[in-house]
């Protein structure tokens, strides 16, 4: 991989990271008072398209695992928000003491974090396959 290709991949990774990060959610909330649902779907569609296109374009081919991780983070965070915002969850939390309610939220978030940590291990790719020139 040459320097130009590497620099392009890094630039693409940074731009995509900013586009799918919480930055859009924060700006929407601060400027409009709410985060529109279409913003989540736009992020998911963008990442899905990049995952599919990464098979065709050599410049972003090595970013495919990164795009998959970003998609998984986006999906798991959104599922976590939907669960915490559901009427069933709120009713259950209101029946618990503060300590138990706070602990259950933290355990749920820790579960999401553990799923994200486990994803690279389940991909069964070596560092040499993901980062050419970096592996042994």
For residue 51, what pLDDT is reported? 92
* DSSP per-residue letters across the chain: --HHHHHHHHHHHHHHHHHHSTHHHHHHHHHHSS--HHHHHHHHHHHHHHHHHTTT-HHHHTTHHHHHHHHHHHHHHHHHHHHHHSHHHHHHHHTS-HHHHHHHHHHHHHHHHHHHHHHHHHHT--HHHHSTTT--
pTM of the model: 0.67
Residue by residue, pLDDT tens for the chain (136 residues) are: 566 677 888 888 899 999 998 888 889 999 999 888 888 889 989 999 999 998 888 888 888 888 988 888 888 778 877 887 888 878 887 888 888 878 887 887 788 778 777 766 666 554 445 555 554 4
């Amino acid at each position: 991989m040459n320097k130009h290709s590497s620099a392009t991949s890094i630039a693409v990774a940074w731009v995509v990271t900013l586009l799918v990060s919480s930055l859009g959610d924060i700006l929407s909330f601060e400027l409009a008072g709410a985060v529109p649902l279409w913003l989540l779907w736009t992020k998911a569609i963008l990442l899905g398209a990049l995952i599919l296109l990464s098979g065709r374009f050599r410049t972003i081919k090595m970013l495919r695992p990164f795009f998959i991780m970003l998609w998984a983070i986006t999906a798991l965070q959104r599922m976590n928000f939907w669960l915490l915002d559901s009427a069933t969850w709120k009713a259950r939390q209101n029946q618990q003491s503060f300590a138990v309610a706070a602990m259950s939220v933290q355990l749920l978030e820790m579960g999401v974090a553990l799923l994200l940590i486990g994803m690279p291990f389940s991909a069964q790719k070596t560092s040499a396959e993901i980062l050419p020139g970096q592996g042994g």
